[in-house]
Amino acid sequence: MTMVTRTLRAAAIGAIVAAGIGAAGIGAAGIGATGVALAADYTLNVNTALQPQDPLFKGLNAFKENVEKGSGGKIAVRLFPGSQLGKDEDVLEQARAGAGVAVVVDGGRLAVYTKEFGVLGAPYLASGYDGVRKVVTSPMFETWVEKLRKAAGLQVLSFNWWQGERHLVTNVPVRVPADLAGIRMRTPGAPVWMETIRAMGATPTPMGWAEVYTAMQQKVIDALEAQSPAVYNSKHYEVAKYLTKSGHINLITGVVTSAAWFDGLPADLQALVRDEALKAGDIASRGTEASLADYEKQMQAKGMTVTEIDVTPFVEATKPVYEKLGYGELRVELNKFLGN
């Protein structure tokens, strides 16, 4: 997509949002689920690629309810699953332009504005939610938040929305990196994701999440990598035979909005929105933790083979990614911080 096309698309999305169109969004018309009228002083439209049945969406519902209630109806929050407002990059552009939109987004897509965010998507950075949460609630992380504000006009509300560890989803069994040779694997287009998949042995193929099922079905790609809830809820078990638990990326995401929109809120509402985003992120992440085993069982019941492997060869293969992308020193700093 060219820059002109992206700008026109983003402008179109902004016009739709500003006009209040988009009745498919949850709570998008009339009175919201918590009884808050859409004539609120401020409206925040939150976009996510995930579906409402994803455990992370429970956190978004909690965020909506608690912000609307805590603000006394001054803020209305509308949720748009399935990327109804467009791709993450397009919504980020709208946020940069000052629209009242937010998006659940990974650090890789923010790294184009503030490089440090990219390390959050680097391979084998931390162990589970508790490990990566320590990073994204640290004073170090807040310095990245401020850099992002200055560089791109984007405001992080919280970044503790853990979607699980990402695994390999293929039609051939995988044990070691050599098994991925020649396999075209879908991944987001951010450099840290692309380099990780390349280092693991596959050929990275960026495309939108909504396109993956059809691309697998039509053999445009051979494989993908994703967390278990997303694989199940998008029914990728219908087009792939194997889920190999490589856990190569600990997928932590955040709710990111417009700095201009955020700065237009009174100070008490700014604090409310950030506090509730952090609380809701914990709800979402703990729900994800509790759901993972059940998702694996359900995929196995659908005929998918779920395999545990020794990830050591993948850990070793992906170590050069940090230096290649200029994260070597930051990796050392984070290792010390995490006690690795």
* Residue 202 lies in domain: 166-249+293-338
**Per-residue pLDDT, 210:** 87
Residue 52's identity, in one-letter code, is: P
What pLDDT score does 17 carry?
46
**162, amino acid identity:** W
pLDDT digits (tens, 9 = 90+) for 163-215: 999 999 999 999 999 999 999 999 988 899 999 999 999 999 999 888 999 99
For residues 305 and 170, membership in a common domain is answered with yes
- Find the mean pLDDT for residues 228-243: 96
Q: Do residues 238 and 128 share a domain?
A: no
**CATH number of domain containing 33:** 3.40.190.170
Q: Judge contact between 322 and 331, C-beta under 8 A.
A: yes
pLDDT for the residue 50: 87
Same domain as 152, residue 117: yes
Q: How far apart are CA 271 and CA 269, in angstroms?
A: 5
| The pLDDT of residue 55 | 85
Pinpoint the alpha helices (H) of the chain: 3-19, 55-70, 88-96, 107-110, 128-136, 139-152, 191-200, 212-217, 228-233, 259-263, 267-301, 312-318, 320-324, 328-338
Dist CA 165 CA 151 (whole Å): 29
Phi, psi dihedrals of residue 234, rounded to the nearest 5°: -95, 5
Region 133-144 average pLDDT: 96
Exposure pattern of 19-42 as b/e (b: 16+ CB <10 Å)? eeebeebbbbeeebebebeeebeb
**Which is it for the CA torsion 149, 152, 157, 162, positive or negative?**
negative
Residue 10 pLDDT > 50: no
Binned at pLDDT 50, 70 and 90, residue 340 comes out as confident
Span 67-88, pLDDT tens digits = 999 999 999 999 999 899 998 9
- Supply the pLDDT for residue 267: 98
Give the confidence band of 127 by pLDDT, cuts at 50, 70, 90: confident
Is the pLDDT at 143 greater than 60? The verdict is yes
Task: Say whether both 29 and 111 belong to one domain.
Answer: yes
| 174 and 205 together in one domain | yes
What is residue 215's predicted lDDT score, i.e. its pLDDT?
Answer: 98
Residue 220 confidence (pLDDT) above 60: yes
Report the pLDDT averaged over residues 255-267: 98
Same domain as 318, residue 274: no
Average pLDDT over residues 220-241: 96
The answer to whether residues 300 and 260 belong to one domain is: no
Q: Are residues 228 and 139 part of one domain?
A: no
Q: What was the pLDDT predicted at 231?
A: 95
- The rounded distance, in Å, linking the Cα atoms of 63 and 271 is 13
Q: Which two tokens stand for residue 157?
A: 């509300």
Please indicate, yes or no, whether residues 95 and 224 belong to a single structural domain of this protein.
no
Pairing state between β 305-308 and 203-206: unpaired
- Cα 266 off chain centre by: 28
Say if residue 112's pLDDT is above 90.
Answer: yes
Given 3-state DSSP classes, what are the helix, strand and coil percentages for the chain, each rounded to the nearest 5?
50, 20, 30
Q: What is the pLDDT of residue 177?
A: 98
Q: Could you read off the pLDDT of 299-329 as tens digits, one per residue?
A: 999 999 999 999 999 999 999 999 999 999 9
Mean pLDDT taken over the chain: 90
- The predicted model gives 269-286 an average pLDDT of 97
Torsion region of 22: left, alpha or beta (phi above 0 gives left; psi -120 to 50 gives alpha): left
Q: What is the pLDDT of residue 15?
A: 46
Residues 107 and 31 in one domain: yes
Among the residue ranges 18-27, 38-47, 192-201, the one predicted with the least confidence is 18-27
Which pLDDT does position 64 carry in this prediction?
98
In the chain, the number of structural domains is 2
Alpha carbons 189 and 195: distance in angstroms, whole number: 10
Same structural domain for residues 105 and 222? no
Contact 17, 45 (CB under 8 A): yes
Is 233 in the same domain as 315? yes
Q: Which residues pair with 77 in a beta bridge?
A: 44
